[in-house]
Structure 1
Amino acid sequence: MNKQQIMELYGYNDWANHKLFEAMSSLEHEEFSRNLGSSFGSMRDTLVHIVGAEELWLSRWRGEQGRTLLKAEDFPDYSTLAEHWYNFQSQMRGFLESLAEEELQEIISYKNIHGNPYSLELWKQMLHVINHSSFHRGQIVTMLRQLKKQPPSCDLVYYYLGKR
């Protein structure tokens, strides 16, 4: 996998996250934070998990230690979380732009949230993050449907079609 492909996939990831944030901007607070029985309960908690996981992985790639996942209670409402996410996007973009092609092949060692050590090429870790975010975006789409809301189309093919 090369840098251009990684940049393209992270462009998609940002686009899809943005579409979901837009779709949730008109929700009532109660709808946004209601436990709908998903992995993380509510749309808010699932978004916090997505953003927190992306931040955690970025800190690993930067060689930072001791980072933990975000806590949902630190984001009492939609606007607080949206602002945090938009600020984080620029950090990720800066990291991606600064990457040299050969760094994608480097083995990055890290400990997961349970303290277990792992090592894997950077590009594989980066694909994992995109896949992880896509999985949880799908859960949010389901929650929007449970509330009888129209979810956005966040499929990769729509990202590519929109760029034509």
Structure 2
Amino acid sequence: MNKDKLFSYHKWATLACLEHVQTIGEEIYQKEGANSFASIEATIAHVIGVEKLWLLRMNGVKKPVFEHFDVAITELAIEAFMLLHAEMELYFASLSEQQWQEVLHYQNMRGDDFSTSREEMLFTVINHASYHRGQITSFLRQFGKEGIPLDYIYYQKQNR
């Protein structure tokens, strides 16, 4: 599948998820529940920090430092993702197909060595975020709220 289309889906799903949570209310965004992270806010902080790590790895940084973003409210989270995604898009547009296939060497946060192409890194970013969007839906259900469909087919239906 086309990398631009996959990233476009990723941006759409991220914003749709955050905007949906925003309509429900900040108290739900910050409310603690049972999941991998304590709250939707903590989940979002993790996801955006990890996306920045992957961008740095794609840029050849072998052991990037986790950046903490101010995502204390949904509006700040939306702005932070929009800025990061714009930065990512600019970087992606500068890459040739050969550069997308180039294997880069880096360490994860535990210090384990990996070798991965930029294309595989992009897939990892999208897959990782999808996993956590599912966790956000789980939080919403715990709090008696409904999630929204964020599967690719819904993106495709809206963007044809």
Give the counterpart of 2:146 among 144, 150, 160. 150
Instruction: Among all aligned residue pairs of Structure 1 and Structure 2, give the percentage whose two residues are the same amino acid.
Output: 31
TM-score by length of structure 2 reads: 0.91
After TM superposition, give the deviation of residue 35 of structure 1 in Å. Answer: 1.6
Look up the match of 2:122: 126
RMSD: 1.8
TM-score by length of structure 1 reads: 0.88
Segments of 4+ in structure 1 off by > 6 A?
none
Give unpaired runs (5+ residues) of structure 1.
none
- Find out whether 1:89 has 2:85 as its counterpart: yes
Look up the match of 1:16: 13
Number of positions where the alignment pairs a residue of Structure 1 with one of Structure 2: 160
Alignment deviations for residues 54-75 of structure 1 (CA, whole Å, 9 cap, x no partner): 1110011112355333447x43
Q: Distance in 2 between matches of 1:151 and 1:55?
A: 26
Give the counterpart of 2:43 among 25, 42, 46. 46
Task: State the structure with bigger RCO (CA 8 A, min sep 6), 1 or 2.
Answer: 1
| Aligned residues of 2:107 and 2:113 also touching (Cα < 8 A) | yes
Where do 1:60-75 residues align within 5 Å? Answer: 60-64=57-61, 66-71=63-68, 74-75=70-71
Alignment deviations for residues 4-47 of structure 1 (CA, whole Å, 9 cap, x no partner): x1111111100000101110113433321122111112101111
Look up the match of 1:109: 105
Q: Distance in 2 between matches of 1:30 and 1:162?
A: 29
